Amino acid sequence: MRVTKHEHACLRLEREGSQLLIDPGSFTLPLQDLAGTVGVVLTHEHPDHWTPEHLRRIREHASDVPIYGPQGVADAAAEFGLTVVAPGDAVTVGPFSLRFFGGRHAVIHESIPVVDNVGVLVDEEFYYPGDSYAVPAGADVRLLAAPVGAPWLKIGEAMDFVLAVKPEHSFATHDMTLSRIGLDMHRGRLHWATEQGGGRFSPLDPGDAIDL
């Protein structure tokens, strides 16, 4: 499987000529090469993780492509007919197996409602938590996409999340809110946390990929 990082929280997973897209949102440039898309995962309803424009472009290439997300994003994107998933659910789409974890977005502030959020484990080897620190219990994660910058994120908590998952390999995502200096500094913290579990860290920029 090849995992490509796009801007902010968007990820492209490719296997056997098929691809799965995760969280194409408002900070992500229009995606190219949409042929072969067999599924889309939206971890939650915030616009930096999905937009109608992205979903319309994807559906233009594959009108019946399934889109998975929790109830909150299904309500927000009702015109697209999402398939609702919740923690504990498992589905298969094309050559990809998906399992979902978590359930709630990390707290930003007590004045801001906490929305539904799911983390997704793909093929029992790649994990992305959305906007949460939900650990995929019982999974041996080969590759972790770890959020690195957000209004809800404290870097020490992000480090603790990586320490808990103990991935073989990790990279930072959810990063468009950071300056270049801030991104490099926070990547360094996740690098350290990954190494504590014997793993390695890659500083991926948009368009960079890792093969599993």
Q: Which domains does the chain have, with CATH numbers?
A: 2-100+108-201 (3.60.15.10)
CA geometry: angle at 23 spanning 17 and 27, to 5°?
115
pLDDT exceeds cutoff 90 at 198 = yes
Q: CA-to-CA distance for 118 and 26, rounded, in angstroms?
A: 19
How far apart are the C-alpha atoms of 53 and 80, rounded to whole Å? 11
Counting residues of the chain whose pLDDT is more than 70, the rounded percentage is 100
Residue 38 CA to residue 58 CA, distance in Å, equals: 10
Q: How far apart are CA 9 and CA 150, in angstroms?
A: 11
Give 93 or 62, the one with higher predicted confidence: 93
Confidence of residue 111 (pLDDT cuts 50, 70, 90): very high
* pLDDT band (50, 70, 90) for residue 62: confident
pLDDT for res 24:
98
What tens digit of pLDDT does each residue of 39-52 get? 999 999 999 999 99
> Model-level pTM greater than 0.85?
yes
Model pLDDT for residues 1-57, shown as the tens digit of each residue = 999 999 999 999 999 999 999 999 999 999 999 999 999 999 999 999 999 999 999
Per-residue three-class SS string for 159-176? HHHHHHHCCCEEEEECCC
Whole-number pLDDT of residue 154: 97
Residue 199 has pLDDT above 90, yes or no: yes
102 dihedral zone (left: phi>0; alpha: psi -120 to 50; beta): left
Across the range 146-159, mean pLDDT stands at 98
Phi, psi (rounded to 5 degrees) for 156: -65, -40
Split at pLDDT 50, 70, 90, the class of 103 is very high
User: Token pair of 41, please?
Assistant: 């995962």
Q: According to the model, what pLDDT value does residue 126 have? A: 98
pLDDT digits (tens, 9 = 90+) for 139-151: 999 999 999 999 9
From CA 79, how far away is CA 127, in angstroms rounded? Answer: 28
Beta bridge partners of 209: 4
CA dihedral of 136, 127, 196, 105, whole degrees rounded to 10: -70
Q: What is the mean pLDDT of residues 152-178?
A: 98
